[in-house]
Amino acid sequence: MAGMTDRRTARTQKALHGALMSLILRKGYEAVTVQDIIDEADVGRSTFYSHYAGKEDLLRSGFQALRMELAQTQHAAGATSDGSRGEPLGFSLAMFEHAGEYKHIYRALVGERGVVVAINEIRRILSEIVRKELSGMQKDAAVPREVHTQFVVGTFVTVLTWWLERRPKLAPPQVDAIFRRLVLNGIEPSPCATSHQE
């Protein structure tokens, strides 16, 4: 019985997310109401509110699958057969690919409250992932770990925003290369810092 309930819940949530995305593309985020969403998804108002507090909550919750995907990508990038550290910031290409897949939604959100919700959620997810990865890296002790974390996240969001708003013809690997070139020199310890720590 629990399995059937879980499947029903998943179907309802998927329908509500699909409805929100369709409506954002047609009407813009600000114009979408909860009534629009439940009509589009063909669910009842009480069903909607049993899952979400409102449309912002629904938009935010859509990032849960992204969080799991990025965590798996980060884990896979960090796993090497010889036990050495794998590729740093292994989440970044997967995140750019995801953003590229949904760039039409992002562009529909630009200039509206929805883009603030989306960017804040991306920042929160990336901060968790980057904080975890940086905890295993040797860094310049003069720079606090949280400053490193926010530097990486801020650079990512800046590059992401620039790409989606200004240069849509670049492929995700090209944008990822730009991000990596900018950020990796900023989180790797300088030769002086490394020699002082040895």
Average pLDDT over residues 98-126: 85
Residues 49-82: pLDDT tens digits? 999 999 999 999 988 877 787 777 766 765 444 4
CB-based burial label for 70 (10 Å; 0-12, 13-18, 19+): buried
pLDDT at residue 111 in the model? 73
Tell me, what's the pLDDT at 197?
38
May I ask the CATH architecture of the domain 2-54? Orthogonal Bundle (1.10)
Assign a CATH topology to domain 63-197.
Answer: Tetracycline Repressor; domain 2 (1.10.357)
Task: Dump pLDDT digits (tens) for 138-184.
Answer: 566 788 889 989 999 999 999 998 998 887 689 999 999 999 999 98
**Domain residue ranges of the chain, discontinuous segments joined by +:** 2-54, 63-197
The model carries a pTM of 0.76
Contacts 24+ apart (CB under 8 A), 83-91: 85/136, 85/137, 88/133, 88/137, 88/184, 88/187, 88/188, 89/130, 89/133, 89/152, 89/180, 89/183, 89/184, 90/133, 91/126, 91/129, 91/130
CA distances (Å), origin 82, targets 78, 79, 133, 138, 147: 11, 9, 18, 19, 31
Q: Quote the tokens at residue 48.
A: 């909607």
